[in-house]
A and B are shown apart, each in its own frame.
Chain A
């Protein structure tokens, strides 16, 4: 079982707003470690979407935003576009495991 918990799927219509949750614990988010988010389009390598809870790498549209509070984090996507249809993963560091941990991934479907 993944250490970080994500919903298996979310969906939304073009132009709408969706959020993807990522739930951790006291040994990762609760210990102050950041959350990072990745997007993986079918057949491609994962792409860093958000790092350090809420920072966007150069080139990532501001439609994507991230936040973290306590032992939970979320990724918000506004103005959904068909090309946003992909798998999204959260990731953090875990002090009890002394390594990185990932969520199980969330498949976003743009209706």
Chain B
């Protein structure tokens, strides 16, 4: 069925790195822009990053710029988020989301269940 399944979350120490993956199935992955959105405990949702359907353009929230890298492998129907220099403020559930919009009026018509990243010493 049409779904997104995140993996790779866990507990990591401050300053360390982690790579999240998102496996897509049931739709033509290479036709969609993909985003990462996160939600810290007790806080609202925060947009993290976007990658164009063909991987040619990537944009990041200021809070993660220079530390996180979004990428995709359309041959494997998989989205990635490489997270470096992690801090406690990065602790959150990370959601992989699909964006059908071709403009910057982004909206998200498919969400994964999320994967929890905890940054703690």
* Contacts from A to B (Cβ < 8 Å): 2, 33-34, 36, 38, 44-48, 51-52, 57, 89, 91, 93, 97-105
Contact = CB atoms under 8 A, between A and B. Distances in A.
B80 to A, nearest CB: 19
Interface stretch (B15-23, B84-92, B100-108): B100-108
B111 A100 contact: no
Given A33-B105, A93-B105, A98-B59, A103 B44 contact: yes
Residue of B35, B108, B110 with most chain A CB atoms under a 10 A cut-off? B108
Chain B interface size, under 10 / 10 to 19 / 20 to 34 / 35 or more: 20 to 34
B112 interface: yes
Interface of B: 35, 37, 44-47, 50, 59-62, 95, 104-114
11 contacts: A2-B44, A36-B108, A45-B95, A45-B113, A46-B95, A51-B107, A52-B107, A91-B108, A99-B60, A103-B44, A105-B44
A91 B44 contact: no
Given A98-B59, A100-B37, A48 B107 contact: yes
Contacts of A34: 105, 107
A20 B93 CA distance: 25
B62 A97 contact: yes
Nearest to A36: B107
A57 to B, nearest CB: 6
B112 A45 contact: yes
B118 to A, nearest CB: 19
Nearest to B45: A102
Residue of B106, B107, B111, B114 with most chain A CB atoms under a 10 A cut-off? B107
Given A34-B107, A44-B113, A102-B37, 20 more contacts: A2-B44, A33-B105, A36-B107, A36-B108, A45-B111, A45-B112, A45-B113, A45-B114, A48-B107, A51-B107, A91-B108, A93-B104, A99-B50, A100-B35, A100-B47, A102-B45, A103-B44, A104-B44, A105-B44, A105-B45
B47 A102 contact: yes
Given A46-B111, A105-B44, A99 B105 contact: no
